[in-house]
Amino acid sequence: MKYTLTILILFVFTTNVFSQECDERTRARMIKSGISDKIIEEQCGKIDNEDNVIVSNVNVDDKNMDSIRLALGAAYGKFKYTNSDNTALSGVFDHDLEGGALKVSYIKVNYNDLIYGGGLSIVSVNGPEVSSVNKRTGYYTYYNSYYGNFDVYLKVKHFASSFLYGLIGYDIELGDGFSFQPTARIGQKSIEASYLVTIESQNYSNLETLYREDTSEFGFEIDFPFMYKINDSYGIGGNFCLCRSHLKVTDDAERYDFTSINAYNLLFEFYQ
C-alpha cells in the first residue's frame, strides 16, 4: 500500500508538470499530428472552453517566421572566343569579367520547418576593353586586303541575368539563433549580353559595332544559407550559392561564350 501511494503521488505530480508545459501552440502541434483528445488531455491536462477558443485560433500552418531577405554579393565571369575556321584566333580575346549580385526574397517557414516563397535575382558582370593577346606595342596585329593593317578590340559592356523564381527548402535549427536553410530555386531566367567590337585600321577611321544578344530559359539554382536571428525584427547571415548563367552566341565560324557566377553573398533578414 505504501509503494502504491508513492507511485500515485509521482504520477499526479508528473501529470501536473506536463500540464504546465503545454501551451496553445504545443496543443496545436499535437492536434495537427492526429493525436487523440484523450492523450492530449492525459499529457496536458483538461482544457476549458476559453482554452479551446485560443487553440482553434492558432494557425498551425504558420510558424512565426515571415521575412524579407536581401542578398548582396560579388559576381565574376568569363568571356571566351573561338573561331573554327581560323583556330589560331581562338582564345586570343579571352578574359575575366567582374560585377555584382542583388537578390530579394520573400520567405515563410511553417510548423513543419518547410521553407517556401519567391523572389528576384539580378546578376551583372562586365569587362575592360581588350585586344588580342598577340598584340605588340607600336605594331598592328592583323592584315587583310580591305582594312590593310588593323587591330581588333573587344569590350563586354554587360552580361546580365534576371531570375524570377519560386523557392522551397528546409529550416534546420542549429541552436542559439543559428539555422541552416538549404533551398532550391526554380523559375524563369532572362539573359542578355552586350559587347562592343572596335576595328582600328591603318587606312580608315575606327569602326565600332555594338552587338546585343538575349534569351530566356528555365532556371534552377541551389542555395545554402546560414542565418543568425539577432532579434524578432532582424537577422544576418551568409550563403554559398550554386548560381551560374551562360550564353552562347554563334556567328558562322565565330563563337562567343559568356559566363557569370555568383557564389557568396551577405544576407540581411527583416522579419515581419
Distance CA 147, CA 202 (A): 7
The three three-digit cell numbers of residue 134, written as one number: 598577340
Encode burial over 132-168: b for 16+ CB neighbours within 10 A, e otherwise: beebeeeeebbeeeebeebbbbbbbebbbbbbebebe
> Which helix (H) or strand (E) covers residue 245, if one does?
strand 234-251
pLDDT in tens, 123-171: 999 999 999 998 888 888 988 888 789 999 999 999 999 999 999 999 9
pTM for this entry: 0.73
91 in Cβ contact with 81 (< 8 Å): yes
Sign of CA pseudo-dihedral 9, 10, 14, 17? positive
137 backbone φψ class: left, alpha, beta (φ>0; ψ -120 to 50): beta
pLDDT at 188: 96
pLDDT tens per residue, range 38-91: 677 766 665 554 444 444 444 444 455 799 999 999 999 999 999 998 888 899
The domains found in the chain, sorted by start residue, are 2-57 (no CATH), 66-271 (2.40.160)
pLDDT averaged over every residue in the chain: 84
* DSSP 8-class letter at 87: G
